[in-house]
Chains A and B, each alone.
Chain A
Amino acid sequence: MLKKKVIAACGGAVATSTIAANKIVELCKKNGIDVEICQIRISEIESNLEGTDLIVTTSRIKRDYGIPYVNGMAFISGIGEEATEAKILEVLKQ
């Protein structure tokens, strides 16, 4: 399988996106998916779209970037984490 590129974005590219990025890396490791995380601010998503397979943000974004999107708020709150993980896997396993 090709290496997957996932954008993990939040407001400042420091606090919550680090949590999300780590969870995604662990999840992919467990499922044998080769993944590359691009951890950035939401305002920087547009410039990093090239080759991206999935976008995960820790806040709700209304904008459509034309790339599969999963809301990663569950990683921060700890509520509904498994459902989010399933959604991410569904996109990345394609």
Chain B
Amino acid sequence: MNLLEKAVDVINNMGASSLLPLTVVFLSLCFGVKPGKAIRSGLMIGAGFVGINLIVEMMNSQLGTAAAKMSERFGLNLRVVDLGWQGASPMAWASWLSAIAIPLAILVNIVMLGMKLTRTVNIDLWNIWHMTFTGALAYTVTGKLWIGILGVAFHAAIVYKLGDLWAPFIGGYFELTGLTVPHGTASYMAPVACLTDWIIEKIPGIRDINFSIDQLQEKAGVLAEPIVIGGIMGTAIGLLAGDRPDDAFMLGIQMSAVMVLMPQIVKCIMEGLLPLSERAKKILSKRFGNGEFYIGLDPAVLLGDSQVVTAGLLFIPITLLIAMILPGNQVLPFGDLATISFFIAIAVAVHRGNLFRTLISGSLIMTMTLWITNQTIPWVTALAKSTGALSGDGLAAAMDQGGSPITYIFVELFQRDNLAGLLIISGIYIVCLAVSVKYSRAEKARGEDEEL
């Protein structure tokens, strides 16, 4: 056994979730963070991991059981609960690949900037979890370290390119000039919107339909809040599962609790990463902070747009409907429901706020996401088990990043257990990408025309 393998072995035995805290303490110290603050950051991340494991366990045992009973009664197949990005990101951070992923993702960015392969400067350290997830999934499935590392780099390189691609839309529709969103979900799903838009433009009559709704959030009131969504879904699924009303209500309260507590817990991980990410941000923006570059940020900056908000709300019931009618679907959308806007935010810009088109492309995006999420269930389950988020014989799924075409294509390239799926999804995605390049160029030219 060589030294690297030995090191890997020690780290594996140490337990995945204690590794990132140690790495963060070490990296923070290297970047000049004070020791006390660095140690606090590391412990904060550890606290986040412990908390999220408790929540995921509860979510799966309570909601998972009820969903299985409901499916049985109605001949549905929705047995696997979607953990959402709040469940998936801690898994990525807890995999020991995360220790390599943060410096690697930054390195890939700097190399690509140096070689003028991208103009996107990613200062959003948090969302490196998406890249890590792809790598961690590939590593868990294949057991080969180099494939995991390659996965992180592959995902990073593509997402920076997508950052370039979407910058004209972020600067155009969202009027955030000089910014972009190199994000594992928002950027990855938007090519579907470009293809949809291109097709709609070809159909007389349909292409003239245009409407938008501004005040849906005000009308929806508390219904739009995650705590209420959790309560309603929990109670409804409990009742549909044939539970007694008081038991169903109890499930509703538990799911409200999940919705409220999850961000609180995941926030610990974010807080722990903060001193490090602030340092990295300073260094990167000092070096690349002028007009030639796009600053890569979290898609949160897009979510205030009223059409994005409206679409995000409409897609809660639509996604549930798709989950029910999609043949063979086993995934019950839950964890990502409150933040479906991440999947469709850039689509809104591609369609210039035309809600009719967003509804169509968003439905396609969520269909594709669910379709892929189903295929990655065994992989995500294996990853969840290896990071301690899941015990026993439960199954796990995550629409955010478990449903990503790039993540799926990369892992499947090495796994090759569903060649037809690989070919179909790659084929569709490549066509989407080709149309997206065309769209991005047109949008960029439009933006430059307006400036003149």
Question: Inside 8 A of A41's CB, which chain B residues have their CB?
Answer: 225-226, 263, 338
Give the CA-CA distance A79 to B124 in the complex, in Å.
14
Instruction: List residues 10-67 of chain A with CB under 8 A from any CB of chain B.
Output: 10-19, 22, 39, 41-44, 46-47, 57-63
Question: Inside 8 A of B271's CB, which chain A residues have their CB?
Answer: 18, 22
Taking A39-B267, A59-B302, A76-B301 as contacts, is the C-beta distance between A15 and B126 under 8 angstroms? Answer: yes
B263 and A77 within 8 A (CB): no
Taking A11-B341, A18-B274 as contacts, is the C-beta distance between A60 and B267 under 8 angstroms? Answer: no
Question: Inside 8 A of A57's CB, which chain B residues have their CB?
Answer: 304
Partner of A62, one of B300, B301, B306: B306
Give the CA-CA distance A76 to B179 in the complex, in Å.
11
Interface string of B203-232 (1 = CB under 8 A from A): 000000000000001100110111100000
B304 and A16 within 8 A (CB): no
Give the CA-CA distance A62 to B278 in the complex, in Å.
28
A63 and B218 within 8 A (CB): yes
Q: Which of B54-62, B291-299, B375-383 contacts A (4 or more CB under 8 A)?
A: B291-299
Question: Inside 8 A of B86's CB, which chain A residues have their CB?
Answer: 12, 14
**A/B pair count, beta carbons within 8 Å:** 107
B304 and A42 within 8 A (CB): yes
Q: Max chain A CB contacts within 10 Å: which of B224, B299, B300, B338? A: B300
Give the CA-CA distance A47 to B309 in the complex, in Å.
17
Give the CA-CA distance A29 to B303 in the complex, in Å.
29
Interface string of B304-327 (1 = CB under 8 A from A): 111001000000000000000000
Instruction: List residues 50-90 of chain B with CB under 8 A from any CB of chain A.
Output: 85-86
Question: Inside 8 A of A76's CB, which chain B residues have their CB?
Answer: 297-298, 300-301
A46 and B300 within 8 A (CB): no
Residue of A nearest to B84 (CB): A12
Closest CB in chain B relative to A17 CB, distance in Å: 8
Question: Inside 8 A of A15's CB, which chain B residues have their CB?
Answer: 124, 126-127, 270, 298, 300
Give the CA-CA distance A63 to B216 in the complex, in Å.
12
Question: Inside 8 A of A59's CB, which chain B residues have their CB?
Answer: 300-305
Residue of A nearest to B264 (CB): A13
Give the CA-CA distance A75 to B297 in the complex, in Å.
11
Partner of B299, one of A11, A22, A47, A77: A11
Closest CB in chain B relative to A46 CB, distance in Å: 7
User: How many chain-B residues does the 8 Å CB contact rule pick out?
Assistant: 46
A18 and B303 within 8 A (CB): no
A73 CB within 8 Å of chain B: yes
Closest CB in chain A relative to B48 CB, distance in Å: 10
Give the CA-CA distance A73 to B297 in the complex, in Å.
10
Residue of B nearest to A39 (CB): B267
Give the CA-CA distance A85 to B263 in the complex, in Å.
26
Give the CA-CA distance A76 to B296 in the complex, in Å.
10
A14 and B304 within 8 A (CB): no
A61 and B304 within 8 A (CB): yes
Question: Inside 8 A of B176's CB, which chain A residues have their CB?
Answer: 73
Give the CA-CA distance A60 to B300 in the complex, in Å.
10
Partner of A58, one of B301, B305, B342: B301
B304 and A13 within 8 A (CB): no
Q: Which of B5-13, B136-144, B281-289 contacts A (4 or more CB under 8 A)?
A: B281-289
B123 CB within 8 Å of chain A: yes
B179 and A77 within 8 A (CB): yes
Closest CB in chain B relative to A22 CB, distance in Å: 6
Give the CA-CA distance A13 to B304 in the complex, in Å.
13
Give the CA-CA distance A77 to B301 in the complex, in Å.
10
B226 and A60 within 8 A (CB): no
Could you write out 26 A-B pairs with CB less than 8 Å apart?
A10-B300, A10-B303, A11-B299, A12-B85, A13-B263, A14-B86, A14-B126, A15-B127, A15-B300, A18-B270, A19-B277, A19-B278, A41-B225, A41-B226, A44-B225, A44-B226, A58-B301, A59-B301, A60-B174, A60-B301, A61-B304, A62-B304, A63-B217, A77-B179, A77-B295, A78-B295
The 4 A-B residue pairs whose C-beta atoms are closest, nearest first, are: A59-B304, A11-B303, A61-B304, A10-B300
Q: Apart from A43-B226, A59-B301, what are 16 other A-B pairs with CB-CB below 8 Å?
A: A11-B339, A11-B342, A14-B263, A14-B270, A15-B124, A41-B225, A42-B309, A43-B217, A43-B338, A59-B303, A63-B217, A73-B176, A77-B179, A77-B295, A78-B295, A79-B295
